[in-house]
Amino acid sequence: MAKKHRKAAKREQRERVDALRRAAELRDPDAQRLPFVGRTLAGVYVTGDNALQLATVWACLRYLTQTIGMLPWNVMASTDGKGAEVQRSNPVQWLLHNRPNDEWSSFQFRETLLHWALRHGNGYAEIERDRAGRPYALWPVHPDRVDPTRDLDTNKLFFRVDNGSGEKVDIAAADMFHLRGFGEGPVGVNVMAYAAQSLGWAKALQLFGASFFGNGANISGVVTKKRKFDPGSLARVKTEFSKLYKGLQKSNQTAFLDDEMDFKPTGVDPSKAQMIEANYLMIEETCRWFGVPPHKVAHLLRATFSNIEHQSIEVVQDSVLPWVRRLEDEADYKLFGQNRQGLYTKIELRGLLRGDFKSQQEGLEVMRRNGIINADQWLELVDMPPMPADAGGDKRIVQSQYITLDKVGEDPPAPPPPRTAEDEAAAQAEIDKMAEEDVDVA
């Protein structure tokens, strides 16, 4: 009976292992569910390129890309429960920390890849491997050249890349470093398509402000006259009016009209149109699309000295860390594979989480007096050279009244009993006897 149950269990396990998927993925994964809007309701076109003309979009992309690009990215390995160490001799360490190829620095590589992911939803880089299959170089590929496709026979994802000469090459998913942004499938969504109406409003405000100053800041309206203009006087009045009052440097002047002419302003007053308030609103609206707090794009309208430090630390958790995890996860799988023998990559965020100098030193002092770090490690964390070899900088210290965890809860040892008069007399007799023996020997 037991043998029959064992056979049934093995058969069930084999069926689970050999299970086949019935729902195949689409051949052409498409992350964009919105139709191309083209011209927005604000009357302007929004693309991934002209959106960069908006200062807030530029500032959001610059903050995220440059912040993550400057952080140390190391290859780490677990050391049997003793923490982790940087693997400086690993070839992947050179690609991530120094140069991914002979044309790009590590900073430029991350900055560009993340910039593409923020604008287009996806950042791509081909993984060049040597004959042994080890990563040799990383080559960024613009998203406009990449077409994610799925093989209908194997259901495997691959990337069809246009080389610009009519030739297209297919790159396996294992050989493509794919930084995928927010989305619902293997392809990230294009944030510019989803944010087009918001960014179109901001761009319309920008164009309105520029044209307002270019066409005259305050004098804009209709010149009327009781009698009909003759062609000669009309041309003269238009020429003189434009010459005297049109343009930014000729604004705020007084208009002098003759021949019973009357000027009626028809332009929009920026203060009444709340142009400044609308610009503030669009700064905050744009920041929401990219997940960047306004104070990081120099919009300090509601920032105070008391909360700016904590906001700077909070942005690491809310804005920087999600992109850091995307980079780390992709590198761990694509550059090491599933059998990576304890190797993983880590982007060091410690520099972004530091407080002011006083808070930083107080935190290090707590670690020092609790034996977590020694003096040399403290010096390393503040970018100072270690102590001389004989100065004891490698020793860890703790306060003397501390006990080990295995002693917690035990009764303290009983104090020795007090000495009696008999004990004192016996001790003195012993001392006298020893003194006499010393004299006899002499």
pLDDT in tens, 275-296: 667 777 778 888 888 888 888 8
How far is residue 1 from each of residues 8, 12, 13, 59, measured CA to CA in Å? 11, 17, 19, 72
State whether 254 and 319 are in the same domain: no
353, 381, 416: which is the final residue of a domain? 353
Q: Averaged over 7-16, what is the pLDDT?
A: 64
Do the domain assignments include residue 165? yes
State whether 349 and 392 are in the same domain: no
Nearest CA among 67, 58, 57, 52 for reference residue 110: 67
Do the domain assignments include residue 428? no
In whole angstroms, what is the distance from residue 120 CA to residue 47 CA? 10
Domain range for 246 is: 221-266
pLDDT per residue as tens digits for the range 312-368: 777 888 888 999 999 999 999 999 876 667 888 999 887 666 656 666 777 777 888
- Between 69 and 380, whose confidence is greater? 69
Do the domain assignments include residue 418? no
The domain tally of the chain equals: 3
Q: Distance of alpha carbon 308 from its chain centroid, rounded?
A: 18
State whether 69 and 125 are in the same domain: yes
Do the domain assignments include residue 1? no
Q: Averaged over 33-59, what is the pLDDT?
A: 77
7-11, 253-257, 422-426 — which one is most confidently predicted on average? 422-426
- Quick one: which H or E segment has residue 159? strand 157-162
Do the domain assignments include residue 431? no
Q: What is the DSSP letter of 305?
A: T
Q: Quote the pLDDT of residue 33.
A: 67
Q: Give the pLDDT band (50/70/90) at residue 116.
A: very high
State whether 117 and 159 are in the same domain: yes
State whether 115 and 33 are in the same domain: yes
In whole angstroms, what is the distance from residue 73 CA to residue 98 CA? 9
State whether 42 and 154 are in the same domain: yes
Do the domain assignments include residue 28? yes
- Between 358 and 111, whose confidence is greater? 111
How far is residue 378 from each of residues 71, 273, 398, 404, measured CA to CA in Å? 20, 57, 15, 24
pLDDT per residue as tens digits for the range 372-411: 888 887 777 776 778 887 777 788 877 766 677 677 667 7
Nearest CA among 184, 180, 161 for reference residue 33: 184
Nearest CA among 44, 70, 2 for reference residue 320: 70
In the block, tokens 């700016």 appear at: 308
Least confident of 30-39, 345-354, 421-430: 30-39
State whether 393 and 286 are in the same domain: no
In whole angstroms, what is the distance from residue 318 CA to residue 204 CA? 30
Q: Distance of alpha carbon 171 from its chain centroid, rounded?
A: 28
In whole angstroms, what is the distance from residue 206 CA to residue 53 CA? 9
73-82, 161-170, 297-306, 414-423 — which one is most confidently predicted on average? 161-170
State whether 135 and 240 are in the same domain: no
Tell me the three state secondary structure of residue 359: helix
Give the phi and the psi of residue 370 in degrees, each rounded to 5: -100, 10
In whole angstroms, what is the distance from residue 353 CA to residue 345 CA? 19
Find the DSSP H helices in 76-140.
91-97, 106-120
The DSSP bridge partners found for residue 86 are 76
Burial of 302 (0-12, 13-18, 19+ CB in 10 A): exposed
State whether 190 and 318 are in the same domain: yes
Nearest CA among 181, 107, 120, 173 for reference residue 347: 107
Do the domain assignments include residue 6? no
What length does the chain have?
442
- In the chain, the amino acid numbered 305 is F
* Residues 161/167/172/175 CA torsion (nearest 10 deg): -70
Q: Give the pLDDT band (50/70/90) at residue 217.
A: very low
State whether 145 and 291 are in the same domain: yes
Nearest CA among 20, 23, 338, 24 for reference residue 151: 24
The DSSP bridge partners found for residue 346 are 74
State whether 72 and 106 are in the same domain: yes
208, 232, 266: which is the final residue of a domain? 266
Tell me the three state secondary structure of residue 39: strand
Do the domain assignments include residue 19? no
State whether 135 and 257 are in the same domain: no
